[in-house]
Amino acid sequence: QVQLVESGGGLVQAGGSLRLSCVASGSIRSINAMGWYRQAPGKQRELVGTITSDGSTNYADSVKGRFTISRDNAKNTVYLRMNSLNPEDTDVYYCFANIAMVDNTRVFTYWGQGTQVTVSS
């Protein structure tokens, strides 16, 4: 089974930076788009950004210019570099990946377990 494991969350001060990592493992045939969502209680789930298999990215207006998504295809890993963090960025961040397994060409979306990012003022 495919598993996505996130790391890198934590507590930072406003204006600081943090990098999240998400590693996919399992019997993977191929990985298409990857990306990040974030969500907090009382808030709608927000798509932070996505990255295609060839590296094309897009971002939500709320993070554009501050966050950068990248990926390492050899490591089945997607990253989220967050700069100029503010308290409004405090959320649980979830990575996702659209993956086909080796025994099935059908693509499914898989999710990381979530990692808490807390930004203090």
Residue 22 pLDDT class (50, 70, 90 cuts): very high
Q: Evaluate if residue 74 carries a pLDDT over 90.
A: yes
Residue 5 pLDDT class (50, 70, 90 cuts): very high
CA dihedral (74, 108, 110, 86) positive or negative? positive
Q: What angle do CA 88, 94, 99 make, to 5 degrees?
A: 150
Is the Cβ–Cβ distance between 93 and 38 less than 8 Å? yes
Q: Evaluate if residue 16 carries a pLDDT over 90.
A: yes
Q: Evaluate if residue 43 carries a pLDDT over 90.
A: no
β partners of residue 7: 21
